[in-house]
Amino acid sequence: MIMEHVGIMVKDMDESLNFYQNILGLELRSREWLNDSIELAFLFFPEQPSVEVELVYGGPVENEGIVNHLAFRVENIEAELARFKEAGVKLVDEEPRSILNNTVKISFFQGPNGEKLELVER
């Protein structure tokens, strides 16, 4: 398992993209609407392209916080979910969901303190 991305809730996508690109030096990998109310943007450092910062616009910041979740890339998401279930990990998603034109599988789960964590299979 390796670090995949960190999701950060934002109030203004354009302003946030400007900051992360022009101030911090990240590059935009993709930007698209997940549904009618949630927009996503994935950025990366050229020196570390495998780890992304995901900007999330339109979600409930008050309920989930500014840093929304930590994500970990896995090779076989179904196997990891089975292992987690056997270990008693609280799964938010019992089965993986396909996103981004079915190119990515994701599944959320909780850490021991209720923190939101995600598995990603690309």
Instruction: Tell whether 65 and 80 lie within a shared domain.
Output: no
Q: Are residues 92 and 44 in the same domain?
A: no
42 and 57 belong to one structural domain: yes
Does the pTM surpass 0.75? The reply is no
**Judgement on whether residues 54 and 83 belong to the same structural domain of the protein:** no
- Domain finish residue from 52, 71, 90: 71
Domain hosting 82: range is: 74-122
User: Do residues 45 and 100 share a domain?
Assistant: no
If phi > 0 it is left, if psi is from -120 to 50 it is alpha, else beta; for residue 41 that is: beta
Q: Which of 28, 55, 71 is the last residue of a domain?
A: 71
How many distinct structural domains can be found in the chain? 2
Shared domain for 60 and 116, answered yes or no, is: no
Q: What is the per-residue pLDDT across 5-60, written as a single tens digit (0 to 9) for each?
A: 999 888 889 999 998 999 888 999 999 999 999 999 999 999 999 999 999 999 77
CATH number of the domain enclosing 112: 3.10.180.10
Please indicate, yes or no, whether residues 88 and 67 belong to a single structural domain of this protein: no
